[in-house]
A and B are shown apart, each in its own frame.
Chain A
Amino acid sequence: MESLHIDESKFTMAVDFNTEKGLCIMSGNSYPEDAISFFEPLNRWLSQYICEVNKPLTVEIKLNYLNSSSSKCFMDIFDLLDDYHQDGGNVHVKWFYQEDDDEIKEAGEELLEDMSFNFEYVEI
Chain B
Amino acid sequence: MTEARPQATPSPGPEAESSGPGRAGRLWQALVPDRWGWLMLPLLVFLLLVFVAPLAMILARSFTDPAPGLQNYRDFFGSAVYADVLVNTFRISGTVTLLTLLLGFPYAYLMTLASPFWRGVMLLAVLVPFWTSLLVRTFAWVLMLNNTGVVNDFLLSVGLIDEPLTLIRNQTGVIVGMVQVMLPYAVLPMYATMRGVDRRLVQAAEGLGARPIFAFWRIYAPLTAPGVVAASLLVFISSIGFYVTPALLGGPQDVMIGELIVQQISAVLRWGFASALAVILLVVTGVLLLLVSRFVNIGKLLGGGER
A and B assemble together: no
A-contacting residues of B (Cβ < 8 Å)?
A: none
